[in-house]
Structure 1
Amino acid sequence: MLSGPPVTTTVRADQLLERFLAANPRQRRSLLSQVQQRAAELRPLIPEQIDRLDATADDWAAGLLIQLLVAEDDSLSQAFRQRYSDGWLAVTSAAGLDYGPLQQALMDQAFEEADRLTSEHLRQLAGEAAVKRGYVYYSEVPPIASVDLESLDRLWVVYSQGRFGFSVQIRLLRSLNGRWEQLWPRLGWKQGGVWTRYPSAFTWSLEAPEGHLPLVNQLRGVRLMDALLSHPGLQQRVSA
């Protein structure tokens, strides 16, 4: 008896979306390519799903879906941007900073612009003296409100598939038992953490190594980054 060709079953777009959102982080990674490949089918379903998700959490699945939605300049994207003109993720600032432009840059995967804005916000949070000199002293980091560093970190985590952010850098440093000299190559930074703004020196996409962004100025050694990653607000996010 001859057997016919194997029967292939394609999961419906709505089923794939539900499965992706319900999956644990490891399962989501395995579904990621399917979701990206079927973006055209999924996009009309995304706005309704986004309304059901928690905008105060830091689930990168939401960020991915938003990036798929706004990737095309059509009525779906325009309606979403109009509805969430400051970005979907709910972030707050004790210093009264507007994180809307940063969120928009991350939504569009404009990571170089997002990194520039993050550095600017860190100077603003450090105080007027840091803004005037153009960089932050390590001693100016501890007084920064936890809620602002948490907001910056959540934005990076949500819109990078969980690959970028200060909390990601903390986890990597912990996995290396605090060995800074081993952290730099893991982040894809130059040995010794030498920081530069030359575009060719960094990878401004999700193809970058885990923890590659945001950048922290290391021209004066590791003290600034150590102060930042040691901040209680960020430490608490990793310990939670």
Structure 2
Amino acid sequence: MTIKIHETDTQFDKLCVLLKSEQCNTNNSKFTLINKIASLNKNSLFKLLSLLLEKYSLKQKSIDLIDEYIYELLLNSKDTVIINLLNNNFPNGVILLKSELSIDYKPLQQLLRVGKFQEADQMTQCLLCTLSQISNDHSRSWLYFTDITSLPSTDLQTIDRLWQVHSLGLFGISRQRDIWIKNGSNWEKLWSKIGWTLNNSSKRYPQEFTWDITAPEGHLPLFNQLRGVQVLKALFTHPAWNE
């Protein structure tokens, strides 16, 4: 037991150091370490909870992706004491499902929370179309690249955060964008990196795509590359990712 407690303290100290880093590329390391800490023992869950309680009691910072991930992990721990403390201290949760157009993102959150990624992918496309319909005053059930600039940054960020939180930072539009940029904005390299092609041909939907977190980084949400790259390019260059 002493060894376990010592290991918890050691890993927790490492996490505290990582949490002080503002670099986005350390998020994967944070996710991995948080999972490792949570798997050690019950005391480790309380240590993670203490991070949230301390941060919000002191009102140190705004909510970030890591806070949201810790909250979701604790909520799914099935520990009644932990869950009761979460409900008492965070009755509305810590993930703010903000929308400039009064869109309800709870259904998307619920699908992602239980790992129904294919259904969440379909809902994401519907939500983007709904945002476009409201912003651009049309009734089309598909997106034109010219629609994208008017989509609210707040809503795009909410959708992206939900995908990231429920995939250990693996999925999301911003993750796809990062990979695109790192590969010199080369679309063929992007398709290959995120697993949208097989033997240089576009994969068949839905059977050839991967609907869980064994997928390559940036695999979800999907966009139809057969229609060209203009919609995705407009999304990647949207100001939401620079705010």
Asked if TM exceeds 0.5, the reply is yes
Structure 1 residue aligned with 2:147: 140
Secondary structure at 2:6's aligned position in 1?
coil
| Inter-CA distance 20–193: structure 2 relative to 1 (3 Å threshold) | farther
Matches within 5 A, 1:54-73: 56-60=62-66, 62-73=67-78
Secondary structure at 1:201's aligned position in 2?
coil
Structure 2 residue aligned with 1:224: 231
Structure 1 residue aligned with 2:219: 212
What RMSD over aligned residues (CA atoms) do the two structures have, in Å? 3.4
Structure 1 unaligned regions, length at least 5? 1-6
Partners of 2:83 and 2:122 lie apart in 1 by 25
Structure 2 residue aligned with 1:93: 99
The C-alpha deviation readout for 1:25-59, integer Å capped at 9, x for no partner, is 27536635532532644334444432344784433
1:182 corresponds to 2:182: no
1:171 corresponds to 2:173: no
Task: Tell me which moved more, 159-168 or 37-46.
Answer: 37-46
Does structure 1 retain, via aligned residues, the 8 Å contact 2:38–2:45? no
Displacement of 1:15: 5.8
Partners of 2:109 and 2:209 lie apart in 1 by 20
Does structure 2 retain, via aligned residues, the 8 Å contact 1:67–1:109? no
| Inter-CA distance 104–53: structure 2 relative to 1 (3 Å threshold) | farther
Does structure 1 retain, via aligned residues, the 8 Å contact 2:164–2:172? yes
Task: Tell me which moved more, 205-214 or 76-85.
Answer: 76-85
Identity of aligned residues (%): 29
Displacement of 1:103: 2.6
Does structure 2 retain, via aligned residues, the 8 Å contact 1:123–1:130? no
| 51, 70, 84: which one aligns with 1:49 | 51
Structure 2 unaligned regions, length at least 5? none
Structure 1 residue aligned with 2:15: 20
| Inter-CA distance 135–156: structure 2 relative to 1 (3 Å threshold) | same
| Inter-CA distance 63–201: structure 2 relative to 1 (3 Å threshold) | farther
Matches within 5 A, 1:96-135: 96-127=102-133, 132-135=139-142
